Amino acid sequence: MGTTQQYNFDYIVIGSGFGGSVSALRLAQKGYRVGVLEKGKEWKTADFPKTSWNIKKNLWLPLLGCYGYQMITFFKHVLIFHGGGVGGGSLVYANQLLKPPDEVFESRDWCINNAKKVLMPHYETARKMLGATLSPQVGKADLLLKEVGIEMTGKDTFHKNDVGIFFGEPDKKVPDPYFNGKGPDRTGCTFCGACMIGCPVGAKNTLDKNYLYLAKGLGTKIIPETHVTSVRQMYGGYEVVTRKTTGFFKKETVYSARGVIFSGGVLGTVELLSKCKDEGLLPDISDELGNFVRTNSEALIGVKSNDKTTNWNDQIAITSGIYPDDTTHIEIVRLNKGSDTLFNLLTIMADGGGKLPRWVRFLGNVIKHPLRFIKLLWPMGKAASISILLVMQTDKNHLKLKYKPRWWRFGNKSINSEIPQGFERSPSYIPVANETARRLAKKMDGIPMSSFPEVILNMSTTAHILGGCCMGDSSKTGVVSNKGELFNYPNLYVADGSVVSANLGVNPSLTITALSEYIMSAIPNKH
């Protein structure tokens, strides 16, 4: 296979989330033949379930025949919420398009000189492509959070967030408002709150309505329900081995390309690269693979209101946020009424820290408030009364992901988390988060809540896993160069959240998009 035409594609993109979608469009615009391999299913607006109780459509549990878009992964030290399907995390993300604080770009871990100056033009491109606009409204819980922020800091740090939603006129369809008529028709937001369950009107600017839509118009082939099992070198290019993810018979198909873009998110990319390194297919991948995996220093906690007269689902998923201290950003998150399933991970609040194990404190609180604990176990109606607090920090802490045999997989290998020696681990308890929740609970006539994994298992919780394929000056210090290319493997790139080299302290979707724009900008046009 000596010539480009003998490959199935010039570039294969593994994954169709923020990084994969950017890669698909920009490579197609440069004249390359592009194929996108996506593990999950392709979703249309009419396909989404009305609530999260439709487990078969909502959750990704292939062993049970569930092929939804909401994925949940338990590791030893962290519980991770992530998304899959054509459009990746954009199917379940909360529409947030925020730039990190300036100090984030000052970290040497980026390995990009003048990182802020270099990346800002790509942030602006990403904002335009994703349709960033200021949230036009805020909810009742948001205004109470604003009061809490003022009480805690003595100043007003409350701000509306930029979001990726077409507002227009509610429920009114109009011709493409973003790409001079080259994009799909769009329908105005109805403020139903179902952003993370699957927008039922098509107002959410998911990637299938911008990057992927335009890439398909340039000839990009998107192949859903296809899991990549290995990547290996061949004849100056690469072979990508896949199998079908749905159905009883898992058919294997092999594709070839001159280059490959790994965009499967942290969990997909780190595991696939680890497998290729371990099996000798790509043996010279840096030993730094899996190091410096970050949770965005997050906590997911909540407040359950006893006020049944107030509609707490009155807005889009997230509208705004506060800064209760210099490194912490907190947002109210809501789901539509009836989407209760994930709220069942919340329970009575318990603090950490000190010599007494957190699970002991939790049991003490259960003994003190048995009726409250029992009531919180009722699984229905929670989305209508619970406001989630998404807490994110720029603090320096991390985990690592290690690929090795697992007893529960009968000796087969997979990745799992470990605590890095000599470094601060990603937190499972954030004091300012609990303080904020308690203050908000008083204003909402409610109960502050922690998550079961935090209080019982001392696990971090995150919706934004980052790192694991960090940039470096060489393979001794990083997995990829400051252009996103794997050391020792020409035309193998990583463009997803695994190249993010810091806790951002804000929702990372805009940063992942901007970084991917930056990485793709260095690939020359096809000759």
Per-residue pLDDT tens over the stretch 206-261: 999 999 999 999 999 999 999 999 999 998 999 999 999 997 778 899 999 999 99
Q: What dihedral do alpha carbons 479, 483, 487, 488 form, nearest 10°?
A: 160
- CATH of residue 59's domain is 3.50.50.60
Residue 527 lies in a domain: no
- Quick one: tokens of 222? 């998107």
Residue 175 lies in a domain: yes
Per-residue pLDDT tens over the stretch 367-401: 999 999 999 999 999 999 999 999 999 999 999 99
Residue 276 lies in a domain: yes
Q: Which of 77, 159, 464, 527 is catalytic?
A: 464
State the first-to-last Cα distance of the chain, in angstroms, to the nearest integer.
Answer: 18
CB burial string 214-228: b at 16+ within 10 A, e below: bbbebebebbbbbbb
What pLDDT score was predicted for residue 2? 46
3-state secondary structure at position 141: helix
Per-residue pLDDT tens over the stretch 395-443: 999 999 999 988 777 778 999 999 999 999 999 999 999 999 999 999 9
Flag whether pLDDT at 325 surpasses 60. Answer: yes
pTM of the model: 0.96
Residue 526 lies in a domain: no
Residue 16 CA to residue 377 CA, distance in Å, equals 37
Residue 330's φ and ψ, nearest 5 degrees, are -130, 135
What pLDDT score was predicted for residue 27? 99
Residue 360 lies in a domain: yes
CA triple 473-475-476, angle to 5 deg: 85
Per-residue pLDDT tens over the stretch 278-299: 999 999 999 999 999 999 999 9
DSSP letter at 463? S
CB 140 within 8 A of CB 310: yes
Per-residue pLDDT, averaged over 317-322, amounts to: 98
Q: Catalytic site residue 464?
A: yes
Residue 34 lies in a domain: yes
CA triple 119-122-124, angle to 5 deg: 115
- Write out the residue range of the structural domain in which residue 469 sits: 4-521
Average pLDDT, the chain: 96
Residues in CB range of 245: below 8 A, 6 or more apart:
39, 40, 62, 67, 225, 226, 227
Residue 92 lies in a domain: yes
What pLDDT score was predicted for residue 83? 96
User: How many domains does the chain contain in total?
Assistant: 1
3-state secondary structure at position 370: helix
pLDDT band for 3, please (50, 70, 90 cuts): low
What pLDDT score was predicted for residue 235? 85
Residue 294 CA to residue 508 CA, distance in Å, equals 12
What pLDDT score was predicted for residue 4? 53
Flag whether pLDDT at 126 surpasses 90. Answer: yes
What pLDDT score was predicted for residue 400? 97
What pLDDT score was predicted for residue 249? 79
Residue 40 lies in a domain: yes
